[in-house]
Amino acid sequence: MSPALQTMDLSRLYRRPIFSSNDIEPSKEYLSHALVEHGVRCGAGSVDSSLYSAGSRRLQMFILRYGPEVEVNPKPFDGFALVQMPLRGSAEIESDGHCVSIAAGQAAVIAPRRNVRLRWSRDCEQLLLRVPLALVHDAAVRSAWPAQPLSASSSAPLHPATVLEGGASAQWAGLVQSLMELALPAAGVTDADPATACNPAWLDHVEQSLAYFLLTQQRPAPGAPAAGDDESAAPNANAMLPTADELEPPLAAAERYMRSRLYAPLSLDDLARAAGVSARTLHMYCKRRFGVGPMVWLRHVRLEAARQMLARDPDCLVTHAAMEFGFGHLGRFSAYYRERFGELPRQTGLGKR
């Protein structure tokens, strides 16, 4: 178990069920009101959806599970950021062109302004915290946050997608634990019990601390990603991924494993086992080497293989190339391909006709 999850006792939140259903619609309807309108596509397997929710004066906490693998397509967030931490499983996040992957015990902050897409692995269950941008802005002003000057009308300086690296996820878990203990009564204690009521000023301080912590985890130049982090920027169709001989041993082992199974469904846990390290460690290696998480790296390897097939054979059907390398959704394959190489799959072999 990750250090972040070892410190958490979520029993107070689990005592606040909203629903449990074999139908995806209740979660979709509730979260569209509580967070943002969104669409959900479910993969194979039966739906086993459940939602728990509670909050303080300005923050709202959720524990959410869908059951099968899902793709969630929300509208851009209006006035809030969302912090996600898988309790089980893993997730991939694409926010304004920035792609990150998180495993159990890792946390990511997302604040999309244009578009966002989320993919949850099968049996993924996540702890979510809705943080108003007004609270982050307030924390920045109170602390004279140095990242950039803020006026009363400026937006909070949050990057579209930020993974809390190193021990930051465990620190975040500790802060959320404090929030739960202050905002939610223990078992057998009522909300109205004056003997256990939290001082509002202290709860306000904890809320501000959570917002300020998010600020401290942001990149030095909010809104301007570091080189290699924005996959949509300046695509280079001739750029090739390194071979196994050029990689550190865990990445080389993972690369050999994925190339032997480019057609097959693979999870983050599969890649970590092949690499002989934890999912968290593999994520660290990938971020340091490629600037993306393991699942995005896997997608890039598959896209490169598909491109080589299309370049070799101008008569190769795009559908065949997509299916050959594990892309079951043709529209999504084309979108990824264009984002990666700056052209559509059908354009790759045209020069050889």
pLDDT by position in tens, the chain (length 353) = 777 888 899 999 999 999 899 988 888 888 888 888 898 998 888 899 999 999 998 999 999 999 999 999 999 888 899 999 999 999 999 988 888 889 999 999 999 988 899 999 999 999 999 999 888 888 777 766 554 444 333 445 688 899 988 788 999 999 999 999 988 877 555 554 544 456 788 888 899 999 989 988 875 433 333 333 333 333 344 445 555 556 778 898 999 999 898 888 888 888 999 999 888 888 888 888 888 888 899 999 999 999 999 988 888 889 999 988 988 778 888 888 988 888 888 888 664 44
Residue 42 CB neighbours (<10 A): 15
pLDDT at 242: 53
Measured CA to CA, the distance from residue 73 to residue 116 in angstroms comes to: 6
Amino acid at 157: P
Query: Is the separation of the CB atoms in 30 and 19 below 8 Å?
Result: yes
Within 8 A by CB and 6+ apart from 13, the residues are: 52, 53, 54, 61, 63, 127, 180, 184
Listed residue (179, 173, 131) closest to 156, CA to CA: 131
Measured CA to CA, the distance from residue 21 to residue 47 in angstroms comes to: 8
pLDDT at 225: 37
Measured CA to CA, the distance from residue 306 to residue 304 in angstroms comes to: 5
**Tokens at 121, concatenated:** 């692995």
pLDDT at 197: 55
Buried-state track 220-235, b at ≥16 Cβ within 10 A, e below 16? eebeebeeebbbeeee
Write the DSSP string, 118-173. Answer: EEE-TT-EEEEEEEEHHHHHHHHHHTT-TTS---TTSPP---SEEE--TTHHHHHH
**Tokens at 240, concatenated:** 């090739």
Within 8 A by CB and 6+ apart from 335, the residues are: none
Listed residue (22, 60, 14, 44) closest to 207, CA to CA: 60
Measured CA to CA, the distance from residue 164 to residue 340 in angstroms comes to: 25
Listed residue (53, 48, 47) closest to 35, CA to CA: 53
Could you give phi then psi for residue 187, rounded to 5 degrees? -60, 135
Domain boundaries, the chain: 3-216, 244-352
Within 8 A by CB and 6+ apart from 144, the residues are: none
- Which DSSP state fits 97? T
Distances (CA, A) of 154 to 64, 137, 158: 32, 8, 12
- Which DSSP state fits 347? G
pLDDT at 116: 92
Angle ∠(35,37,38) on CA atoms, nearest 5: 110
Q: Is 82 exposed, middle or buried (0-12, 13-18, 19+ CB in 10 A)?
A: buried
* Top-level class of domain 3-216: mainly beta
DSSP element (H, E) containing 183: helix 168-183
Q: Does domain 244-352 have CATH number 3.30.360.10?
A: no
pLDDT at 35: 85
